Chain A
Amino acid sequence: MKDESLDHIEVTNSAGKLAKKFLHNPLTLVLAIFILALGLVALQMMPREENPRIDISAGSIIIPAPGLTPEEVKKIITEPLEKKLREISGVEHIYSMSMPNMALVNVVYYIGENREISNLKLYDKIMQNMDEMPKNVMQPIIKPFDIDNSIPIVNIVFYQKNNKLPYNKFLTYIEHTQLNISAIKNVSKTALKGERKEQYNVDIDINKLAGYNLSLGQVVGGIQSIAARTPNVNAKTKENELVIMSIKSALESVKDVENIIVAQYMGSTIYLKDIATVTDGIEVQKKQSAQIILKDGTVYDQITLEISKLAGTNAVHVSNEIKEYLQENAKELEKFGIAYKISRDYGVRADVAVDELVHHIVITIAIIFIMLIVFLGWRESLIVTFTIPAILAITLFIAYVSDQTINRITLFAFLLSLGLLVDAAIIVIENIHRHLHDDESEHQSMDELLIKATDETGGPTNVATLAIVLTMVPMIFVGGMMGSFMKPIPLNVPVALIASLFVAYIFVPYLSKKLLKKEVNTSNTHTEGES
């Protein structure tokens, strides 16, 4: 029956209406708890990243053209190809390099173009024009650029402290680790850097070759004739039973390779070992390699394992699971003398960013709380302080539902709105406070006073908040890299501001009713305004 008693109070705008509706509603408290819970869920569930995702679509086309000079490559490959690529919509720039023996063309789309569609368009354009490919040119290699796969979130540097394992065993162990880490949930691409695969190196001595009067071609032919491998051969018996024969490979070890007969010379047999040294080694032709220099100045050859995550997943979780795996296998690694160092961990960096946000919010809330105690009293201060987590909870939840991630710039957006979002609550509470200490309101009921006070500030507060929202919204239309980068600001600040209005109109009068009391102060003789 209480609700009916509010009906006679006239309200002029949405602020008053909201205050009136929720003032006696028992669900208001439930709503408050519900909002805070949603915020907590969002904070836990939202994927965390260090930098906001920028949709960069691009691709490279590599066309090997053996024997052509840069000028020729430009005339017959690059220029016709560039003209064709110009036909694709959404392409911002085309860069090309006409090199000796090769053409490289990079296509860069406008920021924000859909990546899958852009990649398809590129493939489509090349495939459609395959018939116009010049002669003497090899098949083009198309490499679409994938930002999520390209930028690893965790890098692990592996090195051997005392070279206990032969390099091949070391590499095999790391490849095994790589496979296990690839199996972790939400890990997308894993790759090794600085690794060299096992291979048998045959180093031919040119003088010995000349001594036996052999040519290089003969040696190669000799090796190739032995290294063949065939699949299993099936035969049948009279009773239709299957007999399977497998031809055993002739080369099982370095010894086998050394003993390949290369030629007969003056009646004696020449083995490969006579003219060359054969070693079970690593790729010597690969120039790529990597090192790590530790604090104490020791230098080790290293292999870096790069791990990327799937788009829209939580960097913190992925990185934690990787670290857990490494912890579990620490003993085994130790046993083999393999040391590792995590040289990049975006999971930790994302976590630090979020923790910093929470830390900031807590300090700011405390400061505002103390300030309001001084100016308004501790009960009023408590009310305003409650609104901050409520507003942030709503904003976080909406960000979570709209598929955003918590990153450096979302943090920035929250920090920016932190100073703004208490305004509405402060204005409402100040007005309530003023009326409570006012003689004019003596004959008003508490309910009427609260609703009237909220209603009074509603108009200008709504318009002013609308004005701030309007200044933020156009930032969505800022294009380019910078625009995408700061997109979380126009996406989140307006939401926080609008949420701050609702929270101020609904919860501030409600909590004021619970916490504040009308001041019975007859000695107050001050009247406002003298006519």
Chain B
Amino acid sequence: MSSHEQNNKFETFIYKILENRFKKFLVIFLVALSFFGSIMMIPNKTVLVRMLPSKSANTFNVYIDTLIGSSIEETKAVTECVTSIIQKEKEVTDIESYFAEGSPLDYAGLVKGSALKDGEQYAEIVVNLTDLHERKEKSFDIVHRLRPVIQENCEPLTKATSIRMIEMPAGPPMLASIVVELFGENNKKLIDLSKEVASILDITDGLVDIDIMADHSYEEYQIKLNTEKVTRSGLDVTQINNIIYLAFQGVNVAVKSSMSSNNQIPIYVQLSEDSQTLDDNTLENLQLKLSSLKLMNKQGMMIPLTEVATIKKTKSDPMIYHKDLKNMVNVTAETDMVSQVYPLLAARDTMIEFFSYEFEVTEQLGLSTYMFDLKLKDKQTGENYLIRWDGEMKVSLDTFRDLGTAFIAALMLIFIVFVIYYQSFTISSIILGGSFLSIIGVIVGHWIADMFTVGTFFLTATSLIGFISLMGISSRNSLLMVDFTKSLIEDKGIEKRRAIAVASATRAKPIMLTAIAIILGSALLTSDPVFGGLGVALISGTVAAVIISLIFIPVLMDNTKAI
């Protein structure tokens, strides 16, 4: 009867603790110490926090944006540079490139505006990898390794090109890990500010793929018609517009609808390649080209275009963005294998320091999901600007806020249920308090897991869900203990201290069994990049919960008069 001997040993062990005041104090002290010790691991950055970790996938995308006004040939050259680098990877099965439009829409592209892309400055590449189960290197490791190589080699090919590597999101898709929204009345100044913000993000560790979502202005030639000359020469403005468009852009002038093929085939007219192409991008050349374009007036006379028009070189007007009726410029950045929390805080500190020269910087007060916002007031003009942090951080804060509120509500409900069941506030508090302590195990477990993984093992949203469900598991253990002790005292008239010791010894087996079931059940989870946090939380949290229920709860039970 070895199990009975074990029971006896454990019973004596608990009884000895309960008998000795010093030992009881030691137990409480050790629990308190480990509780605060583990909580401190979070601000200490011993355990790092992140919303959701990266997920290994069979594919990733590359977004290429050249300067607005670039030709498709320039964009293609950048794309070819990127594909030539990716092609050398042995895990790549094939590469699809899409020019002047987005690739077939996916979860990430949905919120990153991939569907709206239409223009010669865009290209997207879809890289398909070998199956993730048969591949050693994770897709995010490949991206991490290729990113600097690609950006270094291909971005300088054309001016102001941005190349972004887009990974499949593990959770819900977001515009970017870090989104800085700049609000203010003065659009020109906003664009200048956005450049400064971008350069701050650029020097912040862990941030990559920085992109300003605002128009760059580019050079354009304005053809100004002299209306007097137009009228005198018997031409009209619409005719001139149409002809210029037809010559360089081309127009479908008619359709061929034949009996032989059922399709309508458009007849498309434009100037031939040779006739269209300019020798170089200068005013003189354009003038020369346009002078050879002749228009026929009502009298049948041929009039060169340049007779009635003058050409001027100007800068294009930048696009104006609004978010919720306010002027806005966006700066986005992605995190490279790290949590977005720490680079955000670092970049924010740099910004406060940097902008203090020119602006009065005030920080947002109080706890809200916009608590990292900065208000800037120009020292000279008195204009106000707002730096707002959106993206993954905002979603995380929103989620944690909702989850936290819901969790507190749940705790109160559970407390009420316990009070109804036991008719005692003290017992209910002991059980609830005891189950909260499983957080020790959760945090320490992540610390240990981090030591054994190659990268960083983050405390994530899934860990939090694991912790929440642990509350229930751990309170079940304590509940069974309390119940058994009470029935021993009431039904069998056993003395309290002995009853507690007997209860913890008898309950030890089912508590261990359920704990082992949870640990073994979650063991397979730990290898998963996304659900790993949950697995670790459940395993280490359960271990902590078992120790708490079997040793700490008896001590508390002994100290209370409620039982």
Which A residues lie at the B interface, using CB under 8 A?
A: 51, 54, 56, 60, 69-71, 73-74, 78-79, 82-83, 86, 93-100, 104, 147, 150-152, 155, 157, 193-194, 197-207, 209-210, 213, 215-220, 223-224, 226-227, 229, 248-249, 251-253, 256-257, 276-277, 283-285, 287-295, 297, 302, 304, 306, 341, 343-344, 360, 363-364, 367-368, 371-372, 375-376, 412, 415-416, 418-420, 422-423, 426-427, 430-431, 434, 456-457, 459-461, 463-475, 477-486, 489, 493, 524, 526, 528-531
Contact = CB atoms under 8 A, between A and B. Distances in A.
Given A200-B256, A203-B272, A481 B296 contact: no
Contact of B268 (A202, A229, A251, A467): A202
Given A71-B320, A152-B105, A216-B247, A292 B271 contact: no
A368 B256 contact: no
Given A416-B469, A475-B406, A363 B524 contact: yes
Contacts of A51: 107
Nearest to A525: B1
A215 B305 CA distance: 11
B514 A426 contact: yes
Interface of B: 1, 4, 51, 59, 72, 83, 87, 92-101, 103-107, 110, 115-116, 118-120, 126, 128, 171-174, 239, 242-243, 246-247, 249-260, 263, 265-275, 292-296, 302, 316-325, 395-396, 398-399, 402-403, 405-407, 409-410, 413-414, 417-418, 421, 461-462, 465-466, 468-469, 471-473, 475-476, 479-480, 482-483, 487-488, 492-495, 498-499, 502, 506, 509-510, 513-514, 516-525, 530-531, 534, 538
Nearest to A85: B325
Nearest to B514: A423
A216 B250 CA distance: 11
B295 A471 contact: no
5 contacts: A150-B115, A199-B268, A200-B256, A293-B96, A419-B517
A302 B96 contact: yes
B72 A467 contact: no
Given A215-B294, A276-B272, A416 B465 contact: yes
B517 A200 contact: no
Given A463-B421, A482-B461, A295 B94 contact: yes
Contacts of A524: 1
Q: Which 3 A-B pairs have the closest CB atoms?
A: A468-B472, A474-B406, A464-B476
A472 B468 contact: yes
A292 B95 CA distance: 6
B511 to A, nearest CB: 9
Given A215-B294, A422-B514, 19 more contacts: A97-B320, A104-B116, A205-B271, A215-B302, A216-B293, A224-B253, A224-B254, A227-B267, A249-B258, A283-B268, A360-B524, A367-B521, A368-B517, A426-B517, A472-B469, A473-B410, A477-B402, A481-B395, A529-B498
A341 B480 contact: no
Given A74-B320, A151-B110, A480-B399, A252 B100 contact: no
Given A97-B320, A482-B395, A467 B521 contact: no
Nearest to B246: A216
Nearest to B539: A419
A520 to B, nearest CB: 16
B510 A343 contact: no
B44 to A, nearest CB: 26
Contacts of B253: 220, 223-224, 227
Contact of A147 (B101, B110, B465, B506): B110
Contacts of B100: 287-289
A471 B410 contact: yes
A274 to B, nearest CB: 13
Given A150-B105, A481-B395, A98 B322 contact: yes
A206 B94 contact: no
A205 B275 contact: yes
Contacts, number: 393
B250 A284 contact: yes
B323 A95 contact: yes
Contact of B521 (A94, A284, A292, A418): A418
Listed residue (A69, A415, A464, A531) with the most chain B CB atoms within 10 angstroms of its CB: A464
Contacts of B323: 93-95
A471 B475 CA distance: 11
Contact of B531 (A213, A292, A415): A415
Contacts of B96: 157, 290-293, 302, 304, 343
Contacts of A252: 256, 258-260
Nearest to B467: A471
A464 B471 CA distance: 10
Contacts of A464: 472, 475-476, 479-480
Contacts of A292: 94-97
A330 B174 CA distance: 39
Contact of B269 (A219, A469, A485, A489): A219
A375 B509 contact: yes
A287 B480 CA distance: 71
A8 to B, nearest CB: 19
A216 B243 contact: yes
A201 to B, nearest CB: 5
A144 B518 CA distance: 46
A478 B409 CA distance: 12
Contacts of B534: 412, 415-416
Nearest to A371: B516
Interface centre among A60, A256, A295 (most CB of B within 10 A): A295
Contacts of B120: 287
Contacts of A249: 256-259
Contacts of B126: 343
Given A86-B325, A150-B115, A416-B469, A529 B406 contact: no
B255 A83 contact: no
A73 B320 CA distance: 9
Contacts of A295: 92-94
A94 B499 CA distance: 66
A249 B325 CA distance: 54
Contacts of A422: 514, 517, 521
B320 to A, nearest CB: 4
Nearest to A229: B257
A217 B403 contact: no
A463 B417 contact: yes
A220 to B, nearest CB: 5
B425 to A, nearest CB: 16
A489 B482 CA distance: 30
A79 B101 CA distance: 28
Contacts of A486: 461, 465
Contacts of B405: 474
Nearest to B416: A470
Given A220-B253, A344-B104, A471-B414, A478 B517 contact: no
Nearest to A304: B104
B266 A98 contact: no
Contact of A217 (B94, B110, B239, B519): B239
B457 to A, nearest CB: 18
B265 A200 contact: yes
Nearest to A78: B322
A253 B488 CA distance: 101
Nearest to B471: A471
A197 B461 CA distance: 49
B435 to A, nearest CB: 8
A183 B469 CA distance: 46
Contact of B320 (A98, A193, A219, A470): A98
A213 B324 contact: no
B174 A528 contact: no
Contacts of A484: 172
B105 A468 contact: no
Contact of A98 (B263, B302, B319, B518): B319
A372 B534 CA distance: 24
Contacts of B173: 481
A201 B268 contact: yes
B417 A470 contact: yes
Nearest to A469: B472
